[in-house]
Structure 1
Amino acid sequence: MPRITLSQFAAEKGQTKAASLLGMSQGALNKALRVGRDIYVTEHADGSFAAEEIRPFPCQVQLKKSA
């Protein structure tokens, strides 16, 4: 699986299962989606998943998604 956005991953797997696969709570995943964090998910060869966030450096201001 190529690198996909967290929102695409959650849409494919469902928020509860996506959160479980990433080792986080569903509430934390929902909040990350709500505020628009720039997070990408990659599937490893062994079937596990990893997520990474892209942020400006240095980042002193919290990024928020406009509603």
Structure 2
Amino acid sequence: MNQISLHDLVIQIGQAAVARAIGVSPAAIHKAIMRNRKITVTINDDGSYTAHELRPFPSQKTDT
């Protein structure tokens, strides 16, 4: 099981291939990279891919 950043994986195998592997559109991959989201992709032992995002909680500040 290996982990790699979304950006680095796109450099290695291409945006369309990453999108197919994790089940999203190529546009979603592009948007995530352009917004500099911290997404880590896990390449599982069976060859499947899973993606996770690490972000602060709460993700949005609310004024009360």
**TM-score after normalising by structure 2:** 0.89
In the alignment, the residues of structure 2 paired with residue 54 and residue 29 of structure 1 have an alpha-carbon distance, to the nearest angstrom, of: 16
Superposed, which structure 2 residues align to 1:43-54 within 5 Å? 43-54=43-54
Amino acid paired to 2:59: C
Structure 1 unmatched runs, 5+:
62-67
Number of corresponding residues: 61
Indicate the residue corresponding to 1:26 in structure 2: 26
Question: 4+ residue runs of structure 1 moved beyond 4 angstroms?
Answer: none
Larger Rg: 1 or 2? Answer: 2
State the one-letter code of the partner of 1:9: L
Identity of aligned residues (%): 41
Which blocks of at least 5 consecutive residues in structure 2 are unaligned?
none
Coordinate RMSD, CA, aligned: 1.1
TM-score, scaled to structure 1: 0.85
Does residue 57 in structure 1 map to residue 57 in structure 2? Answer: yes
Instruction: Tell me the residue number matched to 1:65.
Output: none
Q: Hey, what's the Cα distance between the residues in 1 that align with 2:28 and 2:2?
A: 23
Q: Distance in 2 between matches of 1:2 and 1:46?
A: 11
Residue 5 of structure 2 is matched in structure 1 by 5
